[in-house]
Structure 1
């Protein structure tokens, strides 16, 4: 996947720094969890998970486009050919990276596999769990959308049969009809994917046609013909990610409540 010319890396102008608060002063609990994580140890024997973890680390540092089996072997201190015992090739490696991201969702202690406290709490916990994965691996997260899912009719980021089963069963237990559960799945995944891809783009992720403008001190010459954009640029540059996520999630839950009654 080629890096966009306009995308900014983590140390480049324009990349949003991950902090535990946003411009509104709102505490971003998801980011706080991510910032407190310990990096994986490098003092373990070579195996598939260690290779995948190294690939994740490389992608976060240098982008998806720079990942090669040779560079990954160098990172791990082995010849590239040694990796093929565990991963047949780069395509299999990228699929394994996606599997690791999904596994991180499974391992999140805040996740709930059943709506013990109601369907709203169930979906809120699920949404925040997916967001924490995106914040922990912003440059890798777009793979969740671009790699083939387990079935062609599954929608990222809830792209595993296990998670979709959990989602549909959870809503069914809360009195959702089959039609309402399916419609809620579509609405929920559309919200999550669109919102989180936009957020990771501000953190330097390559998500295809969406570019991140450089956020330097000098005026961007492209703005000369767009005076309103230039005038409002300070506000456009502010980070309100945590607030916007919460507000959009609340609106989504209200929409799903309506779907539950109508279908």
Structure 2
């Protein structure tokens, strides 16, 4: 791992000294003998990181691995199954992150702080993969907000209930926390050029910017230098601290926060 850059966002791969490891992929062109589910999923993560989610097909992944697409189906029976594996592969990085605690041994706020930054590190290391995390899990499409890793949902709810949240409060906390976290991070990766809707990949962005008439927006033009600053890290920290203060109300009152609870 490289030395972290002092001026880099602390959650970024540069700020961490390199991206977290994913499952090892079989070397391109290595052929059928090297295949297993772990290597295929590792190759899929690598492929999406490099080329984007919309480009991923079983045929292209097979070509990347030097085999026919049909050879993959022995290990991943469908594209949806492959995508489930990809999500779990990147979520696994949470379990290998020394700064993420899997249980709230130092309190639920510390647990959620660490989890949020761990998920943000995944988003910054795998921005093209991350929108998959916020898709509906095929096994439980009724989860709201959607989070494809049911293992994460389960561990989150258990951790909060073990910390004193009743069931209603734990679910309410999950909704508030995941809505904030996924909403913020999807916006953050989209600002890096990632299409949050994988089937709606942006094209011709630079040409559109060159052709845009900004004369109707003089204030935007005047404040371009400020509007173009990347304050993502500071905004993330401030929003997270505000959220945890709101969840203190949820824990204390054992119910979902209501509109009238807000105090200026």
- Relative to the length of structure 1, the TM-score reads 0.79
CA distance in 2, matches of 1:109, 1:74: 35
Distance 1:169 1:38 in 2: 27
Among 3, 7, 16, which residue is 1:33 paired with? 16
What is the 5 A alignment of 1:1-263? 27-31=9-13, 32-33=15-16, 35-37=18-20, 40=24, 42=26, 45-155=34-144, 158-208=147-197, 221-263=212-254
Cα 1:72/1:157, change in 2 over 3 Å: same
The 2-side partners of 1:34 and 1:69 are apart by: 32
Cα drift, residue 121 of structure 1: 0.3
Tell me, yes or no, if the aligned pair for 2:144 and 2:175 is still in contact at 8 Å: yes
Structure 1: which 5+ residue stretches go unaligned? 1-18
When residues 159 and 55 of structure 1 are mapped into structure 2, their CA distance, relative to the original with a 3 A threshold, is closer
CA contact (8 A) 2:137 2:147 kept: no
Q: Structure 2, unaligned stretches of length 5 or more?
A: 255-264
Distance 1:140 1:222, change over 3 A: farther
- What is the CA deviation profile of residues 123-154 of structure 1, one whole-angstrom value per residue up to 9, with x for unaligned ones? 11111111111111101110112243542333
Q: CA-to-partner distance for each residue in 1:70-108, whole Å, 9 max, x for gaps? A: 221221122222212212232322222122222222332
Deviates more, 1:129-138 or 1:158-167: 158-167
Q: Distance in 2 between matches of 1:119 and 1:174?
A: 6
Distance change >3 Å, CA 102–CA 234, structure 1 → 2: same
How many angstroms does 1:27 deviate by?
Answer: 4.6
| 2:261 equivalent in structure 1 | none
What is the alpha-carbon root mean square deviation over aligned residues? 2.9
- Matches of 2:122 and 2:145 in 1, distance apart? 13
- 1:219, CA displacement in angstroms? 5.9
Cα distance, 1:249 vs structure 2: 0.6
Q: How many residue pairs were aligned?
A: 241
1:138·1:205 contact (CA, 8 Å) conserved in 2? yes
Distance 1:100 1:222 in 2: 44
Counterpart CA distance in 1 for 2:143 and 2:220 is 38
> How big is each residue's C-alpha offset from its partner over 1:37-74, in whole Å with a ceiling of 9 and x where there is no partner?
45746458211121111111111211111112222122
SS at match of 1:146: coil
